[in-house]
Structure 1
């Protein structure tokens, strides 16, 4: 987690993400890139002089003024970061285009290890009836891990890491990320959580957790099985009840109708849980 991207729209939510990203960079020796996307009119693109390559004259003047204001706000944010964490290397980036697609393009081009993104905490079903947020879009489609942050965290400390899974063989793909987190936060307790929807699933779930831990020789962990009517509801409830500082999950991105009916649990948890949620796709 050395090369970290923080998309910002200069909102309070984006600032929450920045606070967490700075703490991670301090822990890992990483460097940050602050990205702002200017939502440009169709057919307009930014050039090196800050002008506009095409579009009407009126749109061109508007874009030039918008880019000037954006650069000023970015300059102010960079100065704030220098005061908050002078030891962390930070650079800025301004792109134009549709926000969701422009952020994904930057991630792919610059090969980021992690994206830290701010979001609103959603009620369990609210996000099904609202337009996709950038956070939801990135959890679904970003090729690198995404850390979703929903609350201020100026002193982000991780004492409790919850890895939520069914501990099938696919969960083995999380091991490199889990080990990175344990190295960054050696004082944290690792909770291995399986949520079951039927009480008679407890024994099998515990067996899967221990088998996973033994398979990877995890030296210390807390096995936890939590009962809930739905897995996507149980994980945020468990995290809240046990004061988790970080939730970690695999995700399977979907688009279109498959997204609506595919029941992406990690995507739901990333938006519902109060704690920061780290999601990544299986490799």
Structure 2
């Protein structure tokens, strides 16, 4: 069974992402793991150890109850029974990134679903935030959901290729599952330079490429000159009615550079749609 990690800090920004996580779990027959990374309780440094343990235990109990209440609230909102979507809740008393990586490994997570505020300035959303931190570090695909997004499935998916190749990435199987579940049309958008041409994206795969099964699904191949982005991107999104964009940055160490590009800002901010980040294979 697929397993979806849904981190939550109980904020309104993250609420929509947890809602989407439950909807995806129902569609994919997956289990949701709700996780809250709990900070240390505010106890004066000079306090006895027994006081710290007492306050800590009480904070853990309250947070666990709140997490269970939120999960039940999501079931009620979606009119779901517990049997329709399996879930579990975890409170991890470590910093956010460490907590998420720990849970990804221990719970065999296949996909992480997180929210973003959708501000007009991308760096204000991501740089220094929990979302960007997990983008840098997650070994599994990350689905970023704008707080204002109204989820209605993914019937048209744009896959952005920033080079003339289909890179090997973690999460291609997850992308394939999503495409199959929602009977999605895939739109490969290839950024080109110096008049490069390709008739079909399948020409770019290696003989043993993990993209082979994905490419058996209905798809289109679209070329966009670097000089025409991001204007051409807006036209592509409108023409294909895309509801999800797949990004595959070249290096995990240059997230800040990637997300400072005009094209990426168009995708993440002005396009107002979810992003699926496929990381390098570990």
| Stretches of structure 1 lacking an aligned partner (at least 5 in a row) | 43-53
TM-score, normalization: structure 2? 0.76
CA distance in 2, matches of 1:63, 1:230: 55
Q: In the alignment, which of 206, 217, 220 is matched to residue 218 of structure 2?
A: 220
Three-state SS of the structure 1 residue aligned to 2:139 is coil
Report 1:1-283 matches (<5 A): 2-40=2-40, 56-83=49-76, 84=78, 85-86=80-81, 87-123=84-120, 126-127=122-123, 131-153=127-149, 155-166=151-162, 168-171=164-167, 173=169, 175-186=172-183, 188-196=184-192, 200-201=194-195, 204-207=196-199, 209=201, 211-212=203-204, 216=212, 218-227=216-225, 238-239=236-237, 242-252=240-250, 254-255=252-253, 260-261=256-257, 271-272=268-269, 273-283=271-281
Q: Cα distance 1:113–1:60, how it changes in 2: closer, same or farther (>3 A)?
A: same
Q: CA deviation at 1:206?
A: 3.8
Q: Cα distance 1:128–1:253, how it changes in 2: closer, same or farther (>3 A)?
A: farther
CA distance in 1, matches of 2:159, 2:21: 20
Three-state SS of the structure 2 residue aligned to 1:171 is coil
Q: CA deviation at 1:220?
A: 2.4
Q: Cα distance 1:190–1:254, how it changes in 2: closer, same or farther (>3 A)?
A: closer
- The total of aligned residue pairs comes to 265
Superposition CA RMSD, Å: 3.6
1:118-147 Cα offsets, whole Å, 9 max, x none, are 112244x64179752111111221011110
Q: CA contact under 8 A between 1:120 and 1:271: conserved in structure 2?
A: no
1:164-207 Cα offsets, whole Å, 9 max, x none, are 11464443547534422221111x221111234x6x53xx2544
Three-state SS of the structure 1 residue aligned to 2:167 is helix
